[in-house]
């Protein structure tokens, strides 16, 4: 006997017949769409807030079961693009971009103090790749920076739903 909400089918394989019954419980859900709350942004009045943060930061590198501390500064827009410009190479009538050159120049500009004295292109090239991978986490991408979330919301660039 099949009741409402059940399905019955007969399967035949190698001359043997099986009956399979399944029961589906149908539920109806009510979905409400909530409007996202967009917080009012305050209008900035201190132009100094627009400059790059000059505070020094630290990065702990872990290697050979030891912790190594590097002190670094963030790059300003101009410092970053000096590294980008210097990493472009004129080759056979066109420019190409050297990502390794960009990372090297950026790290040299950013590292203010490290266990390696002096911190130069030569010493950087000799570092273990695991150490360099950890150092690269502080380097901004060479492409334009991402728009902050608050600005995306204010510009209506955040998808809802």
State pLDDT tens for residues 22-70.
445 555 566 667 766 667 888 888 988 898 888 999 999 999 999 999 9
What string of H, E and C letters represents the secondary structure of the chain? Answer: CCCCCEEEEEEEECCEEEEEEEECCCCCCCCCCCCCCCCCCCCCCCHHHHCCCCCCEEEEEEECCEEEEEEECCCCHHHHHHHHHHCEEEECCEEEECHHHHHHHHHHHHEEECCCCCCCHHHHHCCCHHHHHHHHHHCCCCCCCCCCHHHHHHHCCCCCC
Residue 1 confidence (pLDDT): 54
Whole-prediction pTM value? 0.63
Q: Is the pLDDT of residue 71 over 90?
A: yes
| pLDDT digits 0-9 by tens, 100-140 | 999 999 999 999 999 999 999 999 999 999 999 999 999 99
pLDDT at 22: 46
């Amino acid at each position: 006997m099949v009741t409402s909400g059940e399905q019955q089918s007969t399967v035949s394989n190698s001359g043997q017949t099986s009956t399979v019954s399944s029961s589906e419980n149908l539920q109806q859900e009510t979905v409400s769409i909530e409007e996202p709350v967009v917080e009012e942004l305050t209008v900035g009045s201190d132009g100094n807030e627009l400059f790059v943060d000059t505070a020094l930061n630290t990065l702990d590198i872990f290697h050979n079961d030891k912790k190594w501390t590097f002190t670094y500064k963030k790059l300003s827009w101009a410092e970053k693009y000096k590294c980008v410009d210097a990493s472009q190479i004129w080759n056979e009538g066109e420019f190409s971009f050297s990502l390794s050159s960009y990372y090297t120049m950026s790290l040299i500009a950013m590292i203010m103090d490290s266990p390696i004295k002096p911190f130069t292109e030569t010493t950087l090239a000799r570092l273990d790749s695991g150490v360099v991978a950890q150092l690269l986490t502080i380097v901004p991408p060479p492409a334009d920076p991402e728009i902050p979330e608050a600005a995306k919301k204010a510009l209506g660039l955040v998808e809802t739903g």
